Chains A and B, each alone.
Chain A
Amino acid sequence: MTYTSVWIAFAFVLIALLLSLWQRIGLEKEIAIGAVRCTLQLLAIGYVLQFVFHTDSLLFILLMIAMMIAVASWNAASKGKKLRGIFWRIALSLAMTELLTMGLLVALGLVSPTPQYLIPMSGMIIGSSMIVCSLFLSHMNREVETSRGEIETLLCLGATTRQAVQAVRKRAVKASMIPTFDTMKTMGLVQLPGTMTGMIIAGASPIEAVRYQILIMLSFSSATAVSAVLISTLSYRLWFTRDAMLHP
């Protein structure tokens, strides 16, 4: 594909802009910013990836993964702005999830330890775990608010913060994991996932593309569970004061 084709593809953005103007939706700025940012970010990452693939250096691979974890943590932490120290807890959860999942994929010989595999797959694992962390924080915020009475009742009976928030935490973990497993149930019937589609467009055989997609989806299941349990374990205390009272 040439750059000319990419420029021509901006016609789609033009359609969105014209519709927004005609229907007075008022999203022209968002559409323009979204399109420009998406293009620039993808172009930049394309060049970065090309450089990393060529150098084949472990340091650059680790730097790329660290950057992904930092951006994902910053993004997920926006769901827990009131929670002090949530960024580092998310970062730790994502790093541990990545280490465990990628470590297993490489150790079991399922993917070869080259930048071509490590970076895109890490991106997908970190991305899906980021969504799980965001969902956990949203659900936990809501659950703690609606279950204040339940938590305080348990505190009044001498429960530790861990005991008092246990049921609430379990509900939030469950709610943050459900979307991944729901997606898995309809995979191939409702959605044709990105990796598979991309590989087919790039000329791979559909069967090979499907095999990779299965590998990715199955590794997502463990990444989802690991990140949800980790972030809940590392963060539940943040809803309490040092004195073990619920924050107002």
Chain B
Amino acid sequence: MHSVMEIESLGKKVLSAASTWLFHDLNAIISEPAMIGILGKSGQGKSTLLRILGRLLPPDSGTIRLNKKEMTQWDSCAWRMKVSYVAQQAIMLPGTVEDNLRTVSVLHQRPFDQKLARALCEQLHLEQVDWSKSAEQLSGGEKQRLALIRTLLLQPDVLLLDEVTASLDTASKQAAQQLLVDLHTRTGTTILWVTHDLEEARSSCQRIWFMADHQLQADLPSHSFFQSPPTIQARDFLQSAHAHAAREVHS
């Protein structure tokens, strides 16, 4: 069977020299393109996992394979063009909005797909943004959406999203969610999405990875995870997340 990505016995220590594991013995197979929500309390290593998969951090143990080929056998640039990470904190590159949008075409000497860039901006409600404006002048939410579009123009096979909708208002969040679902359906892009928004994970993702106790405790279809959480930690996590959401609505 063809698989997109295989993760075998992956581990990362809190500090390279320390003996405490942030997580260890993490095994998972993404057998077909999917949208996967990664859930868990803060400090379980969700972002670190994405950064390892995006080849920004080295693992302390284990192997990762993309299209049956080990990460170490891939050229790092080729890997990152296939598996691209979008950080929670959107970083704007020096220059204008257009400079940021053109980054991928400049780096890889490809023609700039202006039509696609415009369409993505429109989908994420950025059609009013002046492309000649300095990217640093954008609001936090606009920066986050621009950072996402910048990566989408790379057209990676696997997209690693680290709470990319956390700083967005409700309308922009829904637009981003819709865009990602459409992208996955249309192009078969695999999306690994760290989020604290359960509704977002439930409505967009087909599978859920749940991280707790330094391990990947669950890798289940989304409906199974939410209907019958497999562990006490998962049940507690969902309960406290629901309670938190209810408090927010109430306040």
What is A's interface to B at a CB cutoff of 8 Å?
A: 149-150, 152-160, 163, 167, 241, 243-246, 248
- Complex CA gap A154/B94 in Å reads 11
A155 x B56 contact (CB < 8 A): yes
Residues of B within 8 A of A (CB-CB), count: 28
B56 x A158 contact (CB < 8 A): no
A156 x B108 contact (CB < 8 A): no
- Complex CA gap A116/B45 in Å reads 65
- In order of increasing CB-CB distance, the 5 nearest A-B pairs are A158-B81, A244-B76, A149-B91, A153-B91, A156-B85
Nearest neighbor of A167 in chain B, beta-carbon distance: B94
For residues 137 through 151 of chain B, which have their beta carbon under 8 Å from a beta carbon of chain A? 147, 150-151
Shortest CB-to-CB span from A180 to chain B, Å, is 25
Residue with the highest number of chain A CB atoms closer than 10 Å, among B55, B77, B89, B154: B77
Known: A149-B87, A149-B89. A154 touches B56 (CB 8 A): no
Query: What are 19 inter-chain pairs, A to B, with CB distance below 8 A?
Result: A150-B91, A150-B94, A152-B56, A152-B87, A152-B91, A153-B147, A154-B103, A155-B56, A156-B54, A156-B84, A156-B86, A156-B151, A157-B80, A157-B104, A158-B81, A158-B107, A158-B154, A163-B107, A245-B55
B55 x A158 contact (CB < 8 A): no
Nearest neighbor of A163 in chain B, beta-carbon distance: B107
Q: Which A residues touch B80, using CB under 8 A?
A: 155-158
- Complex CA gap A15/B1 in Å reads 85
B77 x A245 contact (CB < 8 A): no
Nearest neighbor of A171 in chain B, beta-carbon distance: B94
- Complex CA gap A163/B93 in Å reads 13
Shortest CB-to-CB span from A145 to chain B, Å, is 14
- Complex CA gap A158/B81 in Å reads 5
Nearest neighbor of A240 in chain B, beta-carbon distance: B76
Q: Which A residues touch B58, using CB under 8 A?
A: 241, 243, 245
B76 x A157 contact (CB < 8 A): no
Beyond A153-B87, A158-B107, 11 additional contacts (C-beta under 8 Å) are A150-B94, A153-B93, A155-B56, A156-B80, A156-B87, A157-B80, A157-B107, A158-B77, A158-B108, A245-B76, A246-B56
- Complex CA gap A149/B89 in Å reads 9
- Complex CA gap A243/B58 in Å reads 8
B55 x A159 contact (CB < 8 A): no
- For the complex, is B57 an interface residue (Cβ under 8 Å from A)? yes
Q: Which A residues touch B151, using CB under 8 A?
A: 156-157
B93 x A243 contact (CB < 8 A): no
- Complex CA gap A248/B87 in Å reads 17
A245 x B56 contact (CB < 8 A): yes
